[in-house]
Amino acid sequence: MHGITPPVTERLPVTDAPAVDDTAVAHPARVLDYWLGGTEHHPADRGLDEQIAAHERIGRTR
């Protein structure tokens, strides 16, 4: 709902997010780029896509 902030214990500190320039670790923004057909993604991002597709049992067009 609008205006409700989750408790502090449920929010991830910014330092827990992988660095965008660390191409050995999948990053949500680059995975989204891959899903949208962009060119700014790496093998780790595509690997996470494959894991998500296997978990969700959905077909990907790539």
Residue 30 lies in a domain: yes
The pTM assigned to this predicted structure is: 0.59
24 within some domain: yes
Q: How many CA atoms lie within 13 A of 12 on its CB side?
A: 5
* Mean pLDDT along residues 13-40: 82
Residue in the structure block whose two tokens are 């998500």 = 52
Note the pLDDT of residue 22. Answer: 83
- Count up the domains in the chain and report the number: 1
Asked if 27 and 18 touch (Cβ cutoff 8 Å), the reply is: yes
Q: Residue 25 is part of which domain span?
A: 20-62
The answer to whether position 41 is within a domain reads yes
Q: Which residue has the higher pLDDT, 49 or 59?
A: 49
What is the distance between the alpha carbons of residues 27 and 22, in angstroms, rounded to a whole number? 8
Residues 59 and 62: their CA atoms lie apart, in Å, by 9
